[in-house]
């Protein structure tokens, strides 16, 4: 499996080789993404990915143990980019209810719409694969859950609210992640071109933000 070199001082030629390896690693991931999303994980062969990336099969195996390993690396990258996007959007509003609205809109407008292949891999093509793949999916969603839970508690402290019960925050998190996942799956995996995902996303965000505001929190007197 490919592993980036340490950050120790390198000669210029070594730095160049390092950049080339990193670029080739990313090129292979970029080639695999649309194939997994559109052709299907099981229907995509290593030879298809190597051909799309313009590398030899042997070179591909230098970076990844097998197709499963490639999918896991791709999943990890997608999960990281999604968490980074949502976190940045939430921070724009200073840990407030508005931050949840911005993050929710970004999920649809800045993730699902411009990068549908990433969403399809995360919510469809990686589902029901090996135990190892499923474990990585669980890790991604556990991290997302932790991110959203932390954002809720930051908002609670920042805005002077308290939750109605010990389970309120967790129920909110599960609802947010579950609804967004279901919407992404229905309107991306089922490929309905007549649907405006951004408008549907706005409805979902409005629904969830309203629920957080009116049902699950109340001001401390």
pLDDT at 220 over 70: no
pLDDT at 218 over 60: no
* Mean pLDDT in residue range 154-181: 86
Say yes or no: 95 and 193 in one domain: yes
23-38 per-position pLDDT tens digit = 999 999 999 999 999 9
Residue 26 sits in a domain of what CATH number?
A: 1.10.10.60
Residue 161 sits in a domain of what CATH number?
A: 1.10.357.10
pLDDT at 197 over 60: yes
Say yes or no: 211 and 124 in one domain: yes
- Count other Cβ atoms within 10 Å, centred on residue 34: 15
* Mean pLDDT in residue range 200-210: 89
pLDDT for the residue 160:
79
Say yes or no: 49 and 98 in one domain: no
* Mean pLDDT in residue range 215-220: 55
Say yes or no: 61 and 118 in one domain: no
Q: Which domain holds residue 23?
A: 1-65
Say yes or no: 96 and 43 in one domain: no
39-82 per-position pLDDT tens digit = 999 999 999 999 999 999 999 999 999 999 999 999 999 999 99
pLDDT at 187 over 80: yes
Say yes or no: 30 and 117 in one domain: no
pLDDT for the residue 5:
47
108-124 per-position pLDDT tens digit = 999 999 999 999 999 99
pLDDT for the residue 148:
93
**Around 107, how many Cα atoms within 13 Å sit in the side-chain half-sphere?**
29
Greater confidence, 1 or 100? Answer: 100
């Amino acid at each position: 499996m490919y592993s980036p070199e340490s950050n120790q001082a390198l000669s210029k030629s070594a730095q160049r080789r390092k950049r080339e390896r990193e670029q080739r690693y990313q090129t292979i991931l970029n080639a695999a993404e649309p194939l997994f999303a559109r052709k299907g994980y099981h229907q995509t062969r290593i030879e298809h990915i190597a051909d799309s990336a313009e590398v030899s099969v042997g070179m591909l195996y230098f970076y990844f143990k097998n197709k499963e390993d490639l999918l896991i690396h791709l999943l990890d990258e997608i999960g990281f980019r999604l968490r980074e996007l949502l976190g940045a959007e939430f921070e724009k509003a200073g840990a407030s209810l508005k931050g949840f609205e911005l993050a929710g809109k970004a999920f649809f407008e800045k993730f699902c719409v411009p990068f549908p292949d990433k969403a399809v891999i995360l919510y469809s093509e990686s589902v029901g694969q090996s135990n190892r793949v499923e474990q990585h999916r669980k890790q991604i969603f556990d991290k997302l859950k932790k991110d959203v839970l932390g954002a809720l508690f930051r908002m609670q402290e920042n805005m002077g609210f308290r939750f109605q019960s010990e389970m309120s925050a967790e129920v909110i998190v599960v609802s947010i992640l579950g609804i967004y996942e279901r919407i992404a799956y229905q309107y991306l995996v089922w490929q309905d071109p007549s649907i405006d995902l951004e408008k549907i996303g706005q409805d979902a965000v409005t629904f969830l933000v309203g629920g957080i505001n009116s049902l699950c929190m109340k001001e401390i007197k």
